[in-house]
Amino acid sequence: MSSQWPLYEVFIRARSGLEHKHVGSVHAVDARMAVEHARDVYTRRQEGISIWVVRSSDIVASDPAEADALFEPARDKIYRHPTFYDIPDEVKNL
């Protein structure tokens, strides 16, 4: 039965985390059920304090065949890494 239900991707924000992280997916017939399923499957051990779900079919992905064109040009531009700066101790989240 669940194979006929649409797939939702699940994102959880951990108690100490600042952003939602992708943790997996669930089948559900609607968004509300997807949140409940995500809660039951992925937060049983207090993994999170916030859940996002999104229909998997609504995610637009980059084309692996275009990986060269998309990602290669960044390879030789190491000056874009912020390794040349001293980060003050007061800055907690960078």
Partner 1 sequence: MSAAPDALPAPAVRARYVLRLADTSLVLAQRLSEWIGRAPALEEELGLANVALDLLGQARSLLTYAAELEGRGRSEDDLAYLREPDEFLSATLAEQPNRDFAAAIVRQVLLDAFQMALYEGLARSEDSRLAQIATKSLPETRYHFRYSAGWLARLGDGTEESRRRVVVALEDLWRFTGELIASDEIDEAMAAAGLAPSASAVAARWSALVSEALEGATLERPPAVGPDTPVPCGRRGEHSEHLNQLLSEMQHLPRAHPGTRW
Footprint (CB under 8 A) of partner 1, residues 31-60: 32-33, 36-37, 40-41, 44
- Cβ-in-10-Å burial (0-12, 13-18, 19+) of 51 comes to buried
Is position 12 an interface residue for partner 1 (rule: CB under 8 A)?
Answer: no
Is position 5 an interface residue for partner 1 (rule: CB under 8 A)?
Answer: yes
What are the respective helix, strand and coil percentages of the chain, to the nearest 5?
Answer: 35, 20, 40
Q: Is residue 58 within 8 Å of 34, Cβ to Cβ?
A: no
The number of C-alpha atoms within 13 Å of 65 and in the hemisphere containing its C-beta is 0
Nearer to partner 1 (CB atom), residue 4 or residue 62: 4
Is position 28 an interface residue for partner 1 (rule: CB under 8 A)?
Answer: yes
What's the closest the beta carbon of residue 31 comes to partner 1, in angstroms?
Answer: 11
What's the closest the beta carbon of residue 83 comes to partner 1, in angstroms?
Answer: 44
Residues lying near partner 1 in the complex (CB under 8 A) are found at 1-2, 5, 26-30, 32-33, 36-37, 40-41, 44
